[in-house]
Amino acid sequence: MKKYELLEFPQLGDKRGHLVVAEGNKDIPFDIKRIFYIYGSDKDVVRGQHANKLSEFVLINLCGSCDIFIDDGENQETIILDKPHQGIYLDKLVWKNMFNFSKDSILLVLSNEYYNGKEYIRDYEEFKKITREKK
């Protein structure tokens, strides 16, 4: 079973513009405790490069585009986020690299946990070992 999923959020729009709605514990599969966003990253910059023991995430590229490399220990995939009404849910223990940012990219990140640096796995080999042991 994949530990990540593409999400589509309801869009409302008319001649005045568009509105996208995403509610915690409804459209977002958890209670939102932390919000941050990434912008101004060059095309060659790689962000993320970690997995988390406790945190789940939803990533939404509000403007522009970026690529997300995902490894859940069994499946590896690169997904392009380029629609503000679309996001990707990442469960615990999913390795993520964000890269290929367009100049106008604004990547919004929602999490179910407050920041705790101790729950981050920043070594890819350690991540692979942990996910092998969980099988």
**Residues annotated catalytic, as ranges:** 50
What distance, in Å, lies between the first and last C-alpha atoms of the chain?
11
Rg (CA), the chain: 15
**Would you say 109 and 115 are in contact if contact means Cβ atoms under 8 Å apart?**
no
Are 112 and 80 in contact by the 8 Å Cβ rule? The answer is no
